Amino acid sequence: MARRVHGERSVGLLYGQRALLIGALEPLTYTGTMLSTAAGSHPFARLAHTAKVQETVFLGTRAEADKALGAVHRLHERIKGELPATAGPHPAGSAYSAFDPELMLWTLAVIADSGRALYEAMVGPLNAEEREALWQDYVRFGELFRLPGSAVPGSYREFSAWWEEKLASPDLYATDHALEVAPLVAFRQPVPLPARLNLETQNLIIKGTLPPRVREIFGIRWTAAHEAGFRSITTAHRQARHAMPRALRRGRNDYFFDAVAQREKLQGGTRTPSIAA
């Protein structure tokens, strides 16, 4: 099921931005990533790299996936520390680690919910059995990144209840840095001018699949006109998809990820506010 979902180009191109935006609402994960990687000066390159790694694990060969996972494990060993300042419910000095099971579950959750949401928007609804099968594949995906199975909801129904509770929790919080940088990376990719209209369409789709509370936290305006446009575009894609050649609708998106990363590099990186170490 994971290969079926993430093999859709429309899912692969869009779910990462949605996952990044929601994921930024966990200050420990967000701050730890910003302090431990080059995400600050080259956030689009990091997003592209992460997307390529995940597509490799979902869609690549066993050897390709093992190589990608080895590199990620080595990177994650360096991601640990303490919050330099209070961030929402977390006081200064709160510890973070890439191998903290609760933080790993949050990271898996934003991927899992985003993959499902984009598939259902762009391809079609999943029934209960398909959602369960997809969730079990995500559980396995998490285990490959060393997330203990014992720390993960055992069924999609349990995950869905956990997810709804997390989205309603007062612990969901965006730091000032996240409020500025996460929407920038999610919605303002450095694409050539001819692709700007397509980018606006993609952004509308991503915003339309966001939980209302996430839109509220980030101040993302959403009107009845936006909703109508979102529904019109996603309905048209679902209807047109059946007539698309398989190579157009399914496959990996390395070319597009590389193009965004290369354009950011040519521009000398992306100027974002610094985050205190």
For CA atoms 176, 274, 35, 110, give the dihedral sign: positive
Average pLDDT, stretch 137-154? Answer: 96
> In angstroms, rounded to a whole number, what is the distance separating the alpha carbons of residues 165 and 93?
26
Give the type of residue at 253: N
> In angstroms, rounded to a whole number, what is the distance separating the alpha carbons of residues 273 and 275?
7
Q: What is the pTM of this model?
A: 0.94
User: Distances in Å between the alpha carbon of 226 and those of 4, 20, 117?
Assistant: 29, 21, 17
For the chain, the structural domain boundaries read 2-266
Burial class (CB in 10 A: 0-12, 13-18, 19+), 5: buried
Largest CA distance in the chain: 55
Average pLDDT, stretch 43-56? Answer: 92
Give the type of residue at 63: A
Average pLDDT, the chain: 93
Quick: pLDDT tens for 90-136.
Answer: 999 999 999 999 999 999 999 999 999 999 999 999 999 999 999 99
Q: Which SS3 state, helix, strand or coil, does residue 162 take?
A: helix
- Among 49, 87, 66, 106, residue whose Cα is nearest residue 262: 49
Position 194 pLDDT exceeds 80: no
Average pLDDT, stretch 169-176? Answer: 92
Quick: pLDDT tens for 228-272.
Answer: 999 999 999 999 998 999 999 999 999 999 989 899 988 888 888
